[in-house]
């Protein structure tokens, strides 16, 4: 059962990301956060996991360590730990893209199941969205990302390998299928 904490987290996430949109579609960013939270909830995640899913991008996109401390104050240590584990950077400006992503994947490899569960839901939803963008707009969609075509593809391939090793199952399998379809569209 979700309580008032979930409602508070939903309002907090909505306010934090109010001016943010998805890179290619222009859809309000809250749609991504709700999708990730939905995946976690539908897989049996408890309220802390669902709240962390709503807030998983707050630190890296909306205020860094100050935001992490606010999440800890409002929603507790476990939620803050999961959000921190899902964040690839807390400082601004962010470190260079490739080393930051490499370090993030390495941290995820050693993270606990709570962190990897939210991170896997995030990667799965992002890959699904990217696939739709490529279907709609073509390969040019990949150039909207800091990693460009090659870096973005490397990142998703690396995420597939990571999650198939650490968390084999339906989500990792689906992530693999989605990334394989992205690869097939790119190679055309």
Catalytic residue among 47, 61, 70, 181: 61
Catalytic residue among 60, 88, 114, 133: 60
User: How far is it, in rounded angstroms, from Cα 95 to Cα 2?
Assistant: 36
Does the active-site annotation cover 61?
A: yes
Band of residue 22 on the pLDDT scale cut at 50, 70, 90: confident
What's the total number of domains in the chain? 1
Q: What is the pLDDT of residues 24-78, one digit of tens each?
A: 778 899 999 999 999 999 999 999 999 999 999 999 988 889 999 999 999 999 9
Whether the CB-CB separation of 22 and 13 falls below 8 Å is answered with: no
CATH number, domain at 122? 1.10.3210.10
- Residue 43: the pLDDT is 95
pLDDT, averaged across the chain: 94
Domain that holds residue 95: 4-186
Does the active-site annotation cover 60?
A: yes
Q: Indicate whether 16 pLDDT > 90.
A: yes
Angle made by CA atoms 169, 167, 107, in degrees to the nearest 5: 155
23: Cβ–Cβ under 8 A, 6 or more apart, which residues?
144, 145
Tell me, yes or no, if the pTM score tops 0.85.
yes
List the one residue out of 98, 129, 114, 100 whose CA is nearest residue 23.
129
């Amino acid at each position: 059962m979700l309580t008032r904490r979930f409602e508070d987290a939903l309002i907090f996430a909505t306010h934090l990301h109010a001016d943010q949109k998805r890179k290619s579609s222009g859809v309000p960013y809250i749609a991504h956060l709700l999708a990730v939270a939905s995946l976690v909830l539908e897989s049996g995640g408890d309220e802390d996991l669902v709240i962390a899913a709503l807030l998983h991008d707050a630190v890296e996109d909306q205020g860094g360590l100050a935001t992490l401390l606010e999440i800890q104050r409002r929603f507790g240590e476990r939620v803050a730990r999961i959000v921190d584990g899902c964040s690839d950077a807390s400082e601004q400006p962010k470190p260079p893209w490739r080393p930051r992503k490499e370090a993030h994947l390495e941290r995820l490899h050693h993270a606990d199941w709570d962190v990897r569960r939210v991170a896997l839901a995030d990667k799965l939803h992002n890959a699904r969205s990217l696939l739709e963008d490529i279907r709609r707009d073509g390969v040019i969609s990949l150039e909207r990302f800091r990693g460009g075509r090659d870096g973005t593809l490397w990142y998703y391939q690396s995420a597939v390998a990571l999650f198939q090793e650490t968390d084999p199952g339906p989500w990792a399998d689906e992530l693999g299928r989605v990334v394989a379809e992205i690869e097939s569209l790119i190679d055309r």
